[in-house]
Amino acid sequence: MKLGVCYYPEHWPEAQWDQDFATMVQLGIEWVRIGEFAWALYEPKLGQFEFGWLERALDLAHQHGLSVVLGTPTACPPKWLIDQHPEILAWDETLTPRHFGSRRHYDFASEVYAEHCVRIVTAMVKAVGEHPAVKTWQTDNEFGCHDTIISYSPVAVAAFRNWCQAQYGDIATLNRQWGNVFWSMAYDSFEQIDSPAHTVTEANPAHHFDYWRFHTDAVKAFNKRQVDILRAHSPGRDILHNYMGRFTQFDHFKVGEDLDIATWDSYPIGFLEQSPESEDYKATYARTGDPDFIALHHDLYRAVGKGRWWVIEQQPGPVNWAPHNPAPLPGMVRLWTWQAFAHSAEVVSYFRFRQAPFAQEQFHSGLLRVDSEPAQAYFEIEDFNQDRAKISGDIAHQPAKVALVFDYAGDALLRIQSQGHPDSPLQVVLNWYRAARKLGWNVDIVPPGGDLNGYALVLVPQLTHLSAQTMAAFEQTEATLMFGARCGSKVETVSIPQNLAPGELQRLIPIKIASVESLRRNISAPWQGDYNATAIAWREKVETTLTPRAICADGWGGWYQSGRVHYIANDLSAEDWQQVFATVASEIGLAVQPLSGGVRRRAFGDYWLYTNHGPDQATLPESGELVVGERVLGVAEVAIVKVG
């Protein structure tokens, strides 16, 4: 449970650095992230490198005993580079080059840009890669922020053509797999392929999906190129990247393969404002954030990091970028910190040390105010430090009994081909996750094909594609498997299985999806019989020899079970999922602890952490030794109970 902070020495007079590092140490901070936006300072002119100021900052950090995460500056190519090579700019879907003047204005597919990144990263790592303060590297910053994964530039299209050739070998294969016989879309050669932008009506979903997959590969390659240089010249350091929330524009598992640690930038209040939740929900959690949205990402990035993960940017107060920017309730910075550690974060690092009085983020809070006085977060970190001193037992990650399988490619496919589903695929996953969390469960996220042994219950909300490895994982586990609608609904690139959905899953449960429909929000279909639940958003008509456990009045939808395998052929609200999961849990002997409102809990090591993001206080279950907090859990409060 280490604390960190993001710091920009280049924003402040050098004379101030010493005091700033001292303040960090005084606050119990051990990690400081620096340097990730400073290319224009590292290399003010092509080939003219100036790392002296960075070395002095690193020296001083080292003197204060701080460990540094050093960022490569490739999110911000300087103006001179853009002027020399305007072709490195990404193009948006209106087919316009994006302009210099903010950040992330580069194209992942640009070989020219990649070579300049190699140059700057090599120069940087040669300058300071062996510096004793540098313990960890960060590649770039927030891949994809501001919708910057997909580019429609000529450079990107040329690279996509090569990718298609590598993927399919000959154009006839691509035509067949994409189904280009439809609407005379066949190509004669790979050179004829364009981006899927600006077509008259929707482009082929296979075209879109491959364009997405190509970009995932481009991001992975872009990252890997930096990783290789850093590993070569700065041995023994971990390498991480800072991912984002509610962001699935590339396959993070693939990029994560090349890194040591996954980190993410957790802004609970900003993310809620940007979310598709209802106005009432947003008002209720406006100052605390959605507890499950936060926790889902903690669990997801633990999976992406193969067990090792940080919060590298933790919201410390109001931010500047959401539709509205309310202040967190007092106590929330402490609560979020505990929440992350209970989910096994190695480090929680705040963004940023001191609020900047200038430029785009001047309304983004820090631990210090513009006048260098402590801001609200400062005092809450002190509170956290007092709490932390009370923890003496084991705090290791406690593997969950419940797993949830999440697939980035399926998420992309379902966005590309929503078929009128009123919710985003991530929102569907969040509903499943929320239901599990409200039953008091720890949840592990598992990538498709990941090991499922040891789990009692595996939730699979909407896994469209089923590889052999994925099917093997389902067949090898003894866990109860709960599949949701659209599982197994795709083969090859994006086609419907010849034997209909759920395709290969028919080996596990004898059902066949005869028809599907999506529903507007003001239509739904209550289940009949024992379960008080209502099909919403998406329904499937099922052919089966099974007697359904539940079904809609018109014969659609419902819940099917074959031994340890369940299939639920429609969407449900989080409340209804909770009821279904509780029923199954009771049948398989999996304990539940229903939690009300915004109260959640998380087991870690010998402890349970209880948190309250909701508007009402609640009373904790009577078990274990209360180490931090009170039995009556106030709003924005935490309680830690020792049960080990």
Active site residues: 142, 313
> Which residue, 331 or 440, has its beta carbon nearer to a second copy?
331
The backbone torsions φ and ψ at residue 226, rounded to the nearest 5 degrees and listed phi first, read -70, -40
**CA end-to-end span of the chain, whole Å?**
18
363 in contact with a second copy (CB under 8 A)? yes
378: left (phi over 0), alpha (psi -120 to 50) or beta: alpha
Binding residue for a second copy, selected from 2, 11, 85, 126, defined by CB under 8 A: 11
Q: Output the CA angle 343-347-353, nearest 5 degrees.
A: 125
Counting contacts by CB under 8 A, is residue 119 touching a second copy?
Answer: no
Using the rule CB under 8 A, which residue among 2, 28, 30, 37 binds a second copy? 37
Interface residue with a second copy among 87, 238, 361, 383 (CB under 8 A) is 361
Question: For a second copy, which is the closer residue by CB, 146 or 631?
Answer: 146
Starting at the earlier edge strand, list the strands of the sheet with 565-568. Answer: 443-446, 402-405, 457-460, 480-484, 565-568, 559-562
* Residue 514: CB minimum distance to a second copy, A: 6
Q: How far is the CB of 519 from a second copy (least distance, A)?
A: 6
Q: List the interface residues with a second copy, window 283-322 (CB under 8 A).
A: 283, 286, 317-318, 320, 322
> CA-to-CA distance for 457 and 442, rounded, in angstroms?
11
Query: Which residue, 123 or 592, is less far from a second copy as judged by CB?
Result: 123
Smallest separation (angstroms) from a second copy to the CB of 502: 13
* 56 contributes a contact to a second copy by CB under 8 A: no
For the CB of residue 372, give the shortest distance to a second copy in the complex, in Å.
9
Return d(Cα 442, Cα 562) in angstroms, integer: 26
What H or E segment, with its residue span, contains residue 138? strand 134-138
Closest approach, Cβ 285 to a second copy, in A, equals 11
Q: Of the two residues 137 and 556, which places its CB atom closer to a second copy in the complex?
A: 556
Restricting to residues 435-494, name those near a second copy by CB under 8 A. 494
Between β-strands 261-266 and 238-243, what pairing exists: parallel, antiparallel or unpaired? Answer: parallel
Q: Judged by CB under 8 A, which stretch of 143-151, 231-239, 300-308, 406-414 contacts a second copy?
A: 143-151
DSSP 437: H
Site string for a second copy, 164-203 (x = CB under 8 A): --------------xxxxxxxxxxx---x-x-xxxxxxxx
Query: What are the contacts of 597-601 at 24+ separation with CB within 8 A?
Result: 598/284, 598/285, 598/288, 598/291, 599/633, 600/291, 600/292, 600/295, 600/437, 600/438, 601/440
Nearest CB to a second copy, comparing residues 167 and 579:
167
The answer to whether residues 43 and 123 touch, using CB atoms and an 8 Å cutoff, is: yes
Burial 129-163 (b: 16+ CB within 10 A, else e): bebebbbbbbbbbbbbbeebbbbbbbbbbebbbeb
Q: In this chain, which stretch among 293-301, 470-478, 512-520, 609-617 interacts with a second copy, using CB under 8 A? A: 512-520
Stretch that binds a second copy, among 125-133, 160-168, 222-230, 361-369 (CB under 8 A): 361-369
Q: Taking every pair of C-alpha atoms in the chain, what is the biggest distance, in angstroms? A: 77
Residue with tokens 């404002």: 273
Nearest partner of 247 among 326, 301, 195, 306, judged by Cα: 301
Task: Mark the segment that binds a second copy (CB under 8 A) among 367-375, 379-387, 468-476, 625-633.
Answer: 367-375
DSSP-derived letter for residue 65 is T
- Between helices 425-438 and 291-304, what is the axis angle to 10°? 100
Q: Do strands 525-528 and 551-552 pair parallel, antiparallel, or not at all (unpaired)?
A: antiparallel
Question: For residues 204-263, which are near a second copy according to CB under 8 A?
Answer: 204-207
For a second copy, the binding residue among 139, 148, 216, 344 (CB under 8 A) is 148
Nearest residue to 377 (alpha-carbon basis) of 267, 262, 243:
267
Dihedral Cα 188, 193, 196, 202, nearest 10 deg: -10
Beta-ladder partners of 129: none
100 binds a second copy (CB under 8 A): yes
Nearer to a second copy, 349 or 365 (CB): 365
Structure tokens at 506: 């028919």
Site membership for a second copy, residue 574 (CB under 8 A):
no
Residue numbers 520-549 binding a second copy by CB under 8 A: 520, 522-523, 539, 541
Query: Is 376 one of the binding residues for a second copy (CB under 8 A)?
Result: yes
Print the binding letters for residues 327-346 with a second copy: x by CB under 8 A, - otherwise.
x--x----------------
Question: Is the peptide bond between 323 and the residue preceding it cis, with omega within 30 degrees of 0?
Answer: no
To a second copy, the closest distance from the beta carbon of 325 in angstroms equals 4
Give the list of residues 6+ apart from residue 80 with CB closer than 8 angstroms, or none.
Answer: 45, 46
> Which residues make Cβ contacts (< 8 Å) with residue 327, sequence separation at least 6?
287, 317, 318, 376
**Nearer CB in complex with a second copy: 104/213:** 104
Least separation in angstroms between CB 23 and a second copy: 18
> C-beta of 592: minimal distance to a second copy in Å?
33
Choice from 370, 389, 472, 626 touching a second copy (CB under 8 A): 370
Q: What angle do CA 196, 200, 206 make, to 5 degrees?
A: 35
Ramachandran class of 329: left when φ > 0, alpha when ψ lies in -120 to 50, beta otherwise: beta
Taking the complex as a whole, the smallest distance from the CB of residue 586 to a second copy amounts, in Å, to 34
Contact 535, 525 (CB under 8 A): yes
What DSSP designation does 204 have? Answer: P
Q: Is 91 in the site for a second copy (CB under 8 A)?
A: no
Binding residues among 591-620 for a second copy as defined by CB under 8 A: none
DSSP letter for 190, please. Answer: G
The verdict on 30 binding a second copy (CB under 8 A) reads no
Of positions 76, 402, 466, 550, contacts a second copy by CB under 8 A = 76
Binding flag, residue 357, a second copy (CB under 8 A): yes
Instruction: List, in sequence order, the alpha helices (H) in 389-457.
Output: 408-416, 425-438
Rounded least distance, CB 362 to a second copy, Å: 6
> Of 216, 344, 365, 470, which lies in the binding site for a second copy, with binding defined by CB under 8 A?
365
By CB under 8 A, the count of residues binding a second copy is: 114
The smaller minimum CB distance to a second copy, of residues 324 and 631, is found at 324
Taking CB under 8 A as the criterion, the residue among 62, 103, 126, 246 binding a second copy is 103
Near a second copy by CB under 8 A: residue from 19, 360, 476, 586: 360
Shortest reach from residue 603's CB to a second copy, in Å = 33
Give the number of other Cβ atoms within 10 Å of residue 533's Cβ: 23
Contact status: 22 vs a second copy (CB under 8 A):
no
- Comparison of 495 and 573: residue with beta carbon closer to a second copy: 495
